[in-house]
Structure 1
Amino acid sequence: MITRTFSHLVLALIVFIWIVPFVALVSTSLRSETEAKTSGFWTAFTPTVLGHRFSTHDKGSTVEFIEMSGNIFDRLNGEKSGFLVSGEVQSILIKARIMNPDKPGKTKLIRKLVPAGEPFETRGGSLVFQSNGDFTWTFPEATAPKPKKLDVFINQDPIFGADAYIEVLFDNKNVPNALISSFIVTIPATIIPITIAAFAAYAFAWMQFPGRDWLFVLVVSLMVVPTQLAFLPILQGFSGIASWATALNAWLTDCEINDSCQVASKSFPSLWITHTAFGLPLAIYLLRNYIVGLPKELLQSARIDGASHLQIFTRIIIPLSVPALASFSIFQFLWVWNDLIVALYIGPNNASDLVFPIRLQKQLGTFKDQLHLLNASAVISMIVPVIVFLSMQRYFIRGLLAGSVKGG
């Protein structure tokens, strides 16, 4: 009983640790820039006191009046279509100069919070406001005063909007370009290794050839090679290929005329090759362990009926291996989609082809303290992996466990 309770507490703690940052990310992305800068995400779901600045009336008005009425919320919201301020007005901060009792003949600046219902003097008139935002500015005689800007503190109702998502998706072309680039990299970098690994896994599991077991051990041992250790030879290899391709292009075409002979060493194909190389050892290991556990009698019957290895692979192995294929697809897709270091060193470096993780890293300098925009971009980058995982989760556990406990 104690063990079960402890395990439940640990599981709840893990869920809490994962959920809180996600809620913080999403809630901040749905808040206005002012709210995101001035208060924490935990205040987004309850009324919060926030400061705003409003003007009593429009600049340039020459209409004389004795009493002018208005509403603070109407002045704040104006023509805004999103994040309309609502709530209860608590106080207005006024600044005024009064005679300094300590220094005769001189004045000093005072700051005072005026509560709702209490009139105060400003620009020769008396202004009073109510908690619902209505205010009245009264003068002893008809006059046309300049607009007065006042700092008001409002117990503001929670409000959310999608303005940040609209800005990063439609007003800024970098995020859509990064999404397209990530798809261009991730889809081939998932399909290519799983296709090669499926053929190799079948060969290691059911085909007899010299050195099969030693070759499988060699493939599995490649999983322990650090990614960073392979960067230097990979970069040298791609640079050599790019130089050779540039020379071949200059020899076969007239590219010198428009200076288009140069072949880039960092490109989408280089990312496909690199991710395929890094993902193949794990893919072969998982799929081989799964395929070797399939019923031997089923394959022997197919051989007796005259089926070739290709027919057995396409008509029997592939349909039965969908859970294992799906589980590795999730691993590979998530790894490639969220990869930063490989894309940073191997991928294209022109602005229009940057993948999403690099674009997010660069937005730290572009958006600076605009947390709502940064968080909106981060949420967008998370949506695709979440959709992929949820759509294939029924295969995930079954394929992963089968590939781990079965072997031959």
Structure 2
Amino acid sequence: GYHHKRLGITARGAWVCVRRHFHELGRNVDAEPITVVGVGSMDGDVFGNGMLHTPNIRLLGAFDGQYIFIDPNPDPLISFAERRRLFQLPQSTWRDYNPALLSQGGGVYRRDAKDIPLSPEVRAWLGVRHSAIDGEALVRWLLIAPVDLLWMGGVGTYVKASSETNESVGDRVNDGARVDALQLRAKVVGEGANLAFTQRARIEYALRGGRINTDAVDNSAGVDLSDHEVNLKTLLHTRPDQHAPDVEDPDRLLQSLTEEVCASVLQDNDRQSLCLSLDRARCRINLDPFMDLAEQLENAGYINPAAEAFPTRKDVSARETKELTRPELALLMASSKLALKQRLLEDEGFLQGSWSYEFLASYFPEYLRAHFSERIRSHSLAREIAVTVICNKVVDQAGVCFLLLGEGLVPTLL
């Protein structure tokens, strides 16, 4: 099967989203240095791969459950090489970072330490007056540090909305380190880890101009790759009829398709991220269709506004911007795709005709389309795959409000 950490697929997908954020801010993360604070350690999949995505990363600070890493003025190339060494070192921790490579004022400390001395460099960067603080306080200061990117790549919910209590978050072990979204000073958040922010925190941060999607958008590449792997294995291991020959060495064939499958997965990340940007632009012009759609999705049971922090019209009208945020649009995007998919699957005659094969086949790598068309046609999940491809293409390109075309949608979709 596909080795997610070796491929770094989840982190690569999250970086596709991060790159779009910076592109829309007029920044090129592939050509200029960016300052980063992160949650995680270099032995982890999402954090480790994420912090090796580009040598332009200037990682000023990071923490995990055990240690806190501080490097207030890193040399990008030297620190990149050291992070790569730690990534390749089995079960490494921040304690393994070569202290001789840290910039002046840097250090590695235990998170449970009661008295961590702060260098003048760290105090100037973070704006801390105290000469020493405990580990949990230092974590809080790192979370609200003035950086380009806050990279969430470790376990834990570290950011809540100011209106929420720690008890409501449901992550007691990190209660002492959690901050409010109003305090954040990072320009962009990459939420490669699950539930790093509460949904209300994402919205609060976005309303203050922060660039953020949701964890479901940013880290979708891992789930997407797993889905592809299952569907490809089903194709390669299931004969369309009893006379069809077995595929010779299916596992080797699966591995040979790795890069093309990963490229398809990353394209999904790119299209979803672009969809949010386009819908945000449409939302600025006319909010009403989005709120109409939200009401339809709520009535059909696809959205629970109270549980998922989706605003009412009155809530949105009270905002200075009078528009929905990216996290809210991400909820609409996911819900609208689900609603459209269910509606199309319920229509027995919808996929009748040769046209549907083009959508089904487009899901599979070129080699399989050329050599295994009969297996593709007879795939046990052919309808589901085709409908998923159609829903993604329609919503990603036309936006969530395409669903407002109503009951006439299915027969006129093409």
For Structure 1 versus Structure 2, the TM-score category normalised by the shorter chain is under 0.3
**Which of 1 and 2 has greater Rg?**
1
* Higher normalized strand content (fraction of residues): 1
Greater relative contact order structure (CA < 8 Å, 6+ sep): 1
TM-score, length-normalised on structure 2? 0.22
TM-score, length-normalised on structure 1? 0.22
